[in-house]
Amino acid sequence: MPLSAWIMLAFGALVLYGGLAVALAIAHRGRRRRRGSQ
C-alpha cells in the first residue's frame, strides 16, 4: 500500500476516533463534575 494511503488512514483515524475519544472524555468529565456538585 502506498505511503499516501497510510497517511490518509492515519488522518481519518485521528480525526474520527481521536475526536470521538476527546468528546467522550469531555462527557465523562462533565458527568463527574455534575455528580460532584450534587
Report the run of H or E that residue 17 belongs to, with start and end.
none
Shortest CB 25 distance to other proteins, Å: 10
Q: How far is CA 32 from CA 15, 24, 36, 38, in A?
A: 25, 12, 6, 10
- The footprint of other proteins on residues 11-30 (CB under 8 A) is 11-13, 15-17, 19-20, 23-24, 26-27, 29-30
Instruction: By CB under 8 A, tell whether 4 contacts other proteins.
Output: yes
Q: Does residue 32 touch other proteins according to CB under 8 A?
A: no
Name the residue with cell 468528546. Answer: 23
Nearest-approach distance from CB 11 to other proteins, in angstroms: 6
